[in-house]
Amino acid sequence: MAHKVYSHWLIEKTHENDNIPRWFDAFLIDRKAQGLAAGTIEFYGWKLRLIDRFFYTQGISNVNEITPDIIRAMMINLESSHTPGGVHQVYRVIRTFLRWYAIEAEPDNWHDPLANIKPPRLSEIPLSPVTTNDVKKLIAVCPDSFTGNRDKAIFLFLLDTGVRASELCALNREDVDEIEGSVQVKNGKGGKSRIVVMGKKTRKAMRAYLRSRSDDDDPLWLTDDGDRLSYAGLNHMLERRAKQARIPKPGLHDFRRAFALNCLRNGMDIFSLQRLMGHADLQVMRRYLAQTDDDLREAHARSSPVDNAM
């Protein structure tokens, strides 16, 4: 064969062909064939690489060697470097892969190692957003250069639009109206499209970044080498800038939480916020709105039936 295609009708069901990296590749090809968004594919790839590295350290190289104890050990290991939400993401990815593998490979005497493992418990306490003070510190360490202008624009863009990190990486120049400030997110979560908006300061930072470019390439966010900035690259950039700013590294999703909470605090109605964030229902919004006791007291002071009407 001139090239390898990892599909069950081409892979002989032998011990050697249960090789984990090969099946991970085949899984990603299947996700692409189903038309999943590029950001979603990259997310799967990133998590699968993390899973593969852990399996490698445990001497696990074949799918049939994955046991419930190995899965539990991985979940425990992740707790030292991931939030509960991050651990849950890895669990969902390995669960999706194993269910797909059982259908695709039709292995003999297969027993799903996740069959008796409950999902990691998610905290009911909403996670805190990145603070505006920390965003200012991140911006302060961005020099007047191509990457400095790009990173400054990215931090403001994430905070001002509430887009997911994967959505940011997938944007092209044509999706952005620098004058009006509107941005078309063409392939959001679930393949849905929506419009988000940049304010004046973010538009100014965006123009400064685009002026520092001398190319006509489609991707909105580029690396030094002229490639599209990836999710992993974006995360590494944030880690580097946080170290320079001497602050704990915020998560990429923390910017989205900050957008939601600050919009609510500044008086945006919940339905407009829901549309900007691309949520199908209001139930999902609850996890983003980590209102403090002060927020609740202020809300009550504005709306108290007794104080306002009696």
Report percent pLDDT > 90 for the chain.
54
90 with 139, same domain? no
Mean pLDDT of the chain: 84
Q: Check if 164 is active-site.
A: yes
**Residue range 18-44, pLDDT digits in tens:** 689 999 999 999 999 988 877 788 889
Q: Residue 11 domain-assigned?
A: no
Q: Which of the residues 47, 152, 203, 256 is marked catalytic?
A: 256
209 with 248, same domain? yes
198 with 88, same domain? no
99 with 141, same domain? no
**Residue range 201-236, pLDDT digits in tens:** 999 999 999 999 999 999 999 999 999 999 989 999
- Going from the C-alpha of 259 to that of each of 39, 147, 182, 254, the distances in angstroms are 20, 24, 16, 9
Q: Residue 299 domain-assigned?
A: no
Q: Residue 118 domain-assigned?
A: no
140 with 287, same domain? yes
**Residue range 177-188, pLDDT digits in tens:** 988 899 999 866
37 with 139, same domain? no
50 with 146, same domain? no
Q: What is the CATH number of the domain that holds 92?
A: 1.10.150.130
- What residues form DSSP beta bridges with 133? none
Q: Residue 84 domain-assigned?
A: yes
Q: Check if 189 is active-site.
A: yes
Q: Is 41 exposed, middle or buried (0-12, 13-18, 19+ CB in 10 A)?
A: middle
Number of domains observed in the structure of the chain:
2
Q: Residue 303 domain-assigned?
A: no
Asked whether the predicted pLDDT for residue 281 surpasses 70, the reply is no
84 with 157, same domain? no
- Going from the C-alpha of 211 to that of each of 7, 40, 149, 206, 208, the distances in angstroms are 46, 30, 9, 9, 5
Q: pTM for this structure?
A: 0.63
Q: Residue 144 domain-assigned?
A: yes
**Residue range 48-64, pLDDT digits in tens:** 999 999 999 999 999 98
82 with 193, same domain? no
Q: Check if 192 is active-site.
A: no
pLDDT at residue number 98: 95
pLDDT at residue number 264: 82
Q: How confident is the model at residue 15 (pLDDT cuts 50, 70, 90)?
A: very low
pLDDT at residue number 307: 63
Q: Check if 6 is active-site.
A: no
Q: Which of the residues 82, 189, 207, 249 is marked catalytic?
A: 189
Three-class secondary structure assignment of the chain: CCCCCCCCCCCCCCCHHHEHHHHHHHHHHHHHHCCCCHHHHHHHHHHHHHHHHHHHHCCCCEHHHCCHHHHHHHHHHHCCCCCHHHHHHHHHHHHHHHHHHHHHHCCCCCCCCCCCCCCCCCCCCCCCCCCHHHHHHHHHCCCCCHHHHHHHHHHHHHHHHCCCHHHHHHCEHHHECCCCCEEEECCCHHHCCEEEECCHHHHHHHHHHHHCCCCCCCECCECCCCCECCHHHHHHHHHHHHHHHCCCCCCHHHHHHHHHHHHHHCCCCHHHHHHHHCCCCCCHHHHCCCCCHHHHHHHHHHHCHHHHHC
**Residue range 100-144, pLDDT digits in tens:** 999 998 888 888 999 889 888 766 555 678 999 999 999 999 999
Alpha-carbon distance 25 to 48, whole Å? 9
Q: Residue 97 domain-assigned?
A: yes
pLDDT at residue number 158: 96
Q: Domain end: 88, 105, 122, which one?
A: 105
56 with 147, same domain? no
Q: What is the CATH number of the domain that holds 194?
A: 1.10.443.10
pLDDT at residue number 109: 83
55 with 140, same domain? no
Q: Which of 244, 255, 271, 263 is nearest to 128 (CA)?
A: 255
Q: Which of the residues 164, 203, 241, 257 is marked catalytic?
A: 164
Range of the domain at 44: 16-105
Average pLDDT over residues 166-195: 86
Q: Which of the residues 288, 297, 300, 302 is marked catalytic?
A: 288
75 with 160, same domain? no
pLDDT at residue number 92: 92
Residue pair 119/85 in contact by the 8 Å Cβ criterion:
no
Q: Which of the residues 47, 150, 203, 279 is marked catalytic?
A: 279
Q: Check if 82 is active-site.
A: no
Q: Which of the residues 150, 152, 203, 253 is marked catalytic?
A: 253
Q: Check if 253 is active-site.
A: yes
Q: Residue 258 domain-assigned?
A: yes
